């Protein structure tokens, strides 16, 4: 058997042993799978003045017991551009202790809210205890649309 083939087999063997000893057969990751907003319309001058943004995060594989992720939510775009909403808290740290984790945020109208729409986006800013942060499978998975009204 050629020497390079033996070296290749030895490396594969070491990788297999390493994976078995670490208990990991695949990479662990976190991924945002959906962002929703309820209600879908908020108003500047009458209720409802606020909505709840729900971010669903998939935890794949086996993260460490103390694994966490920082989730951020905020305005991605507004139409018209001067349509302004407020987020009392734009970052949350969640424990990655189950397969599906949820983070919720509040979005509120302001005195600068106008008739229009705001696209709200969420991202995993940082994660610990997992191998990587995986990008959402679709653009639709990391954003939601909020309508704004001024009746």
CATH of the domain at 33: 2.60.40.1460
Q: Is 13 inside a domain boundary?
A: no
Q: What is the pLDDT of residues 38-90, one digit of tens each?
A: 999 999 999 999 999 999 999 999 999 999 999 999 999 999 999 999 999 99
- CA torsion sign for 68, 98, 61, 139 is negative
Q: Is 19 inside a domain boundary?
A: no
pLDDT for 3 equals: 53
Q: Is 140 inside a domain boundary?
A: yes
Q: Is 21 inside a domain boundary?
A: no
Q: What is the pLDDT of residues 95-146, one digit of tens each?
A: 999 999 999 999 999 999 999 999 999 999 999 999 999 999 999 999 999 9
pLDDT for 99 equals: 97
pTM of the full structure: 0.82
pLDDT for 126 equals: 97
For residue 35, pLDDT beyond 50: yes
Q: Is 6 inside a domain boundary?
A: no
Q: Is 36 inside a domain boundary?
A: yes
Q: Is 14 inside a domain boundary?
A: no
Segments forming the whole domain that contains residue 117:
26-149
Tell me the average pLDDT across 22-48. Answer: 90
pLDDT for 129 equals: 97
Say if residue 119 is exposed, middle or buried (CB neighbours under 10 Å; 0-12, 13-18, 19+).
middle
Count of domains forming the chain: 1
What's the pLDDT band for 26 if we cut at 50, 70, 90? confident
Q: Is 5 inside a domain boundary?
A: no
How far is residue 127 from each of residues 28, 29, 102, 123, 138, measured CA to CA in Å? Answer: 11, 9, 15, 11, 20
């Amino acid at each position: 058997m050629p020497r390079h083939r033996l070296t290749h087999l030895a490396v594969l063997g070491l990788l297999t042993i390493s994976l078995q000893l670490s208990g990991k057969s695949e990479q662990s990751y976190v991924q945002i799978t959906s962002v929703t907003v309820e209600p879908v319309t908020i108003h500047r001058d009458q209720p409802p003045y606020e909505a709840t943004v729900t971010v669903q995060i998939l935890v794949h594989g086996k993260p460490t017991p103390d694994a966490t992720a920082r989730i951020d939510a905020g305005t991605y775009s507004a139409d018209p551009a001067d349509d302004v909403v407020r987020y009392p808290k734009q970052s949350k740290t969640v424990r990655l202790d189950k397969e599906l984790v949820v983070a919720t945020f509040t979005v509120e109208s302001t005195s600068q809210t106008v008739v229009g729409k705001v696209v709200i986006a969420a991202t995993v800013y940082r994660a610990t205890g997992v191998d990587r942060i995986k990008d959402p499978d679709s653009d639709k998975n990391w954003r939601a649309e909020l309508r704004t009204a001024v009746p």
